[in-house]
Amino acid sequence: MVRVADDRDGQRLDNFLLGQLKGAPKSLIYKLVRSGQVRVNGGRAKADTRLQGGDEVRIPPVRLGEAADKGTPARGLLEAMEASIVFEDARLLAISKPSGVASHGGSGISFGAIETLRALRPNQSLELVHRLDRDTSGLLVIAKKRSALAELQALMREDGGITKRYLALLVGRMPDGVMSVDAPLHIGLRQGGERHVQVNAAGKPSLSHFKVLERRGGHSYCEVRIETGRTHQIRVHAKHIGHPVAGDDKYGDVAVNARLREQIGLKRMFLHAASLEFALDGGKAPYVLNAPLATELVETLDRL
């Protein structure tokens, strides 16, 4: 029997169980709930049942096979995550995620940033507030308290609730000033289940603002502010205006990417989540979180 802590108030039962049964696949969690082996205050419940602080949850004994035990993250990854922390207080933890590290595990990746941080802090409750593409570096925010997670996710759903700023190198010469791209984005699936996003009238409203900071080597180093947080938003909007993100192997310019790789050693996508601004406690506690531009991207600019 597990008592639900007050800061878990409002959490879905399936997510609560995933936190209690570390390493258990989701399919097992749903099977346990469907079969009635999990009880909330003595009664059956559904996976999407919202728990309340003080609820008593019966969790049946579960034996996880060896396959479910993925071990622990490699020492190098643990050290990289420890070194990447740029901010921490009682509610939040922020890291500057390296390019190549997924926000969370899945689809062949055992350990993403969140799993590695949980391995570093086994006695802390850590939840991802948002995600970054695997190849995007920069600011990733993790909630240490359920209340902070709920408030931040509510802010993300609000227009202007959170100011998100990215730094990107776009291929070619962008016009001066701010170029706003208001183009709906639709997620499609390609063979093999790979997500591919495109501008499509049937998609969700998406708004990005591109501002040239300086020009380097015939390309445009830009600040990008996004007012919506759609999958691959900056990458697809950049392609849509004819200036794809340098080094983007999914939506980018293959020939330019190859040239940048050979001539200046750009081996990754030049997209970095630089800062987030928001306020918690109903606007009373302002936060401005920053992640400095990744070293390899600074070096790329210097070589251009």
Say what the pTM is. 0.77
pLDDT in tens, 108-163: 667 889 999 999 998 899 999 999 999 999 999 999 999 999 999 899 888 778 99
Q: What is the CATH number of the domain that holds 109?
A: 3.30.2350.10
20 with 100, same domain: the answer is: no
Active site residue 253: no
Q: How far apart are CA 202 and CA 31, in angstroms?
A: 35
Residue 122 and residue 44 in one domain: no
Q: Is 298 found in the same domain as 172?
A: yes
Shared domain for 111 and 181, answered yes or no, is no
| Chosen domain end from 149, 170, 198 | 149
Query: Which amino acid makes up residue 92?
Result: L
Residue 68: is its pLDDT beyond 50?
no
Q: Are residues 129 and 234 in the same domain?
A: no
Catalytic residue among 6, 9, 89, 133, which?
A: 133
Whole-angstrom distance between the N-terminal and C-terminal Cα of the chain? Answer: 61
Written as one string, the DSSP assignment of 84-110 is TEEEE-SSEEEEEEPTT--SS-BTTBS
Q: Directed axis angle between helix 26-34 and helix 13-20, to 10°?
A: 120
- The residue-averaged pLDDT of 21-31 equals 83
Identify the domain boundary among 66, 88, 120: 66
Average pLDDT, the chain: 91
Q: Give the number of domains in the chain.
A: 3
Model confidence over 192-243: pLDDT tens digits?
667 789 999 999 999 999 999 999 999 999 999 999 889 899 999 999 999 9
The answer to whether position 154 is within a domain reads: no
**Domain residue limits at 285:** 159-303
Name the phi and psi angles at 267, rounded to 5.
Answer: -105, 5
| CATH code, domain with 22 | 3.10.290.10
> Of the candidates 264, 237, 269, which has an alpha carbon nearest to the alpha carbon of residue 137?
269
Give yes or no for residue 33 having a pLDDT over 90: yes
Task: Say yes or no: 124 and 172 in one domain.
Answer: no
